[in-house]
Structure 1
Amino acid sequence: MAYIFLVNSNRVLEASLGYFINPLLLILAGRFIFKETLSKYQKTAIILATLGVCYMSIIYQKLPLYSLLVAGTFTGYSIAKKKIKIDPILALTIETLVYFPVAILYLLMIKGGKGVEASNFDKILLMGAGVVTVIPLFLFSLGTKLSKLSSIGFFQYLTPTLVLLLGVFVFGENFSSVHTITFSLIWSGLIIYTASLFRVKR
């Protein structure tokens, strides 16, 4: 909900920063809550990613409260997913049932209770969006049970990275020097972290 609020308020930068902070919180949760160990290469990768996030925060000269809310709530969601020992499909079904009445109530409240006016094509897109949303949530639920939380956290840097690429190459947004430095640090960390995982596997 915090992410949707930021996007609808034209504060996409704060929303993306929240998703950059989120993996750091997940890695810390993996280390201190689930007692996961990190190699020296993985620690180096985390430091680089942290520097990237801190640099972006310092440049914009304010405490990103909504970004922290986005990061904190998703971190809590991830911890719950890992701790609750139930089938991923059942868990996702329960989540959907919980949010369903809230969504119906919202639709009835907007526009004076008349609901949403949408074309048939828009309705098809909305139903398709539901399918596109459920599949990643199911895979995420399954992944949290099969993988280390620290690994999941670090690879979640792919999400804001892909969003930024969409913003630059699809929506024509400006890629500033701040983004260049931030992404260079984060992707350097991602390369080191990925290399360390392959090294451990061998």
Structure 2
Amino acid sequence: MKEEKKGIVLGVFAYVLWGIIPLYWKLLGEVQSLSILFYRIVWSFVFMLLYIICIKKWRAFCQKVKSLFSSPKTLGFIVLAAIFISINWFTFIYSVGHGHVTAASLGYYMNPLVNVLLGTVFLKEKLGRIGTVACCCAAVGVLMLVLLSGEVPIASLVMAISFSLYGFVKKQLVVSSYTSLTIETLIMLPVALLYFVFFSPQPFMGYTTNLNLLLMGAGIVTAIPLMLFAEAAKRISYILLGFIQYVNPTMMLLFAIFLFHEPYTLGQFFAFSFIWLGIVLFTYGTIQSHRKEKQFLSQGEK
């Protein structure tokens, strides 16, 4: 029970940090979204290297890198993971920077349901009746948003799909959270360096002192929530983690409405209501399945 409570605290802390990240990106309004992405990659890599050295895991990390890069299949999965998380980061930064925090929150509300879709199609996992209804409700909500705005919520879909694909690819890899993040940023590092040398509108770290410090801090605000999340996942059930997960998009939606004063109509509220209903049904179905599985296992032990 003590470990579970610790896991809950770590999980909530991770998702609260992810929830307030839009505030951080808003402080970097003078910097282009693509530049923020590549600064995030560079400083995340630097921060993770320092972290690995501080916890005295450098030798183990080098051995893991050597073993991963010796397998073409594994290397392919890592490259895909790096690409998907970079797409997710850029879309999120761009959405926040251009006043579309509501779209960002929608993307992360949709993420668990996209996970279900991927599991059903590619992993041949069975989707129960409640899960099917949940996905239909979410689809109705997205369709309503399309009809209300007159356009497909591309940014939301890209965020949901890219993060789901990132998680899907990561399932094929057995590595620690800090090793994974370090290698992913290492893979994207040459692209970032090429950008700063040939395409960046400003020299590397050529902004004011305050902006430079914030850009360096991007590595910290990226790495810490990921590591907290990984530790939480070791201590609490997937179901409980699923409940906590909705702290993130809920905070973003509240910021969008009350702090950034983004347009939020009654029609949007009804559309989001279908998505929330889908989430409630999906969570309920997951809990029921978990209870049945526990009952089956306890009967088997008897």
- Aligned AA for 1:51? V
Cα root mean square deviation, aligned: 3.5
- Give the structure 2 partner of residue 84 of structure 1: 173
Residue deviations 1:162-195 (CA, integer Å, cap 9, x gap): 3111111222333211221022112222222223
> Out of 138, 142, 163, which is 2:252 matched to?
163
The reply to whether residue 127 of structure 1 matches residue 216 of structure 2 is yes
The reply to whether residue 36 of structure 1 matches residue 125 of structure 2 is yes
Residues in 1 aligned to 2:106 and 2:288: alpha-carbon distance in whole angstroms: 30
> Out of 263, 267, 272, which is 1:178 matched to?
267
- Aligned AA for 1:2? T
Residues in 2 aligned to 1:32 and 1:5: alpha-carbon distance in whole angstroms: 30
Asked if the contact 1:6/1:14 (under 8 Å) is kept, the reply is yes
- Give the structure 2 partner of residue 75 of structure 1: 164
The reply to whether residue 110 of structure 1 matches residue 200 of structure 2 is yes
| Comparing 121-130 and 56-65, the one that deviates more | 121-130
- Offset at 1:138? 4.1
Residues in 2 aligned to 1:12 and 1:164: alpha-carbon distance in whole angstroms: 7
Asked if the contact 2:92/2:159 (under 8 Å) is kept, the reply is yes
Residues in 2 aligned to 1:124 and 1:37: alpha-carbon distance in whole angstroms: 48
Residues in 2 aligned to 1:153 and 1:80: alpha-carbon distance in whole angstroms: 19
| Comparing 34-43 and 58-67, the one that deviates more | 58-67
Residues in 1 aligned to 2:95 and 2:243: alpha-carbon distance in whole angstroms: 23
- Give the structure 1 partner of residue 63 of structure 2: none
Asked if the contact 1:24/1:50 (under 8 Å) is kept, the reply is no
Q: Unpaired segments of 5 or more residues in structure 1?
A: none
- Give the structure 1 partner of residue 10 of structure 2: none
Residues in 2 aligned to 1:184 and 1:194: alpha-carbon distance in whole angstroms: 15
- Offset at 1:156? 6.0
Q: 1:196 to 1:11 in 2, by over 3 A?
A: closer
Asked if the contact 1:23/1:157 (under 8 Å) is kept, the reply is no
Paired positions, count: 199
Asked if the contact 2:107/2:158 (under 8 Å) is kept, the reply is yes
Q: What TM-score comes out, normalization by structure 1 length?
A: 0.75
The reply to whether residue 200 of structure 1 matches residue 289 of structure 2 is yes
- Aligned AA for 1:201? H
Residue deviations 1:46-85 (CA, integer Å, cap 9, x gap): 2222211111112222334454444433332222111223
Q: Work out the percentage of aligned pairs sharing the same amino acid.
A: 36
Q: Any idea what SS the aligned residue of 1:59 has?
A: helix
Residues in 2 aligned to 1:199 and 1:111: alpha-carbon distance in whole angstroms: 54
- Give the structure 1 partner of residue 93 of structure 2: 4
Residues in 2 aligned to 1:73 and 1:201: alpha-carbon distance in whole angstroms: 27
- Offset at 1:7? 4.0
Residues in 2 aligned to 1:114 and 1:93: alpha-carbon distance in whole angstroms: 21
Higher Cα Rg, which structure: 2
Asked if the contact 1:107/1:116 (under 8 Å) is kept, the reply is no
Q: 1:199 to 1:193 in 2, by over 3 A?
A: same
Residues in 1 aligned to 2:142 and 2:246: alpha-carbon distance in whole angstroms: 11
Asked if the contact 1:15/1:66 (under 8 Å) is kept, the reply is yes
Asked if the contact 1:81/1:141 (under 8 Å) is kept, the reply is no
Asked if the contact 2:257/2:264 (under 8 Å) is kept, the reply is yes
Residues in 2 aligned to 1:57 and 1:124: alpha-carbon distance in whole angstroms: 39
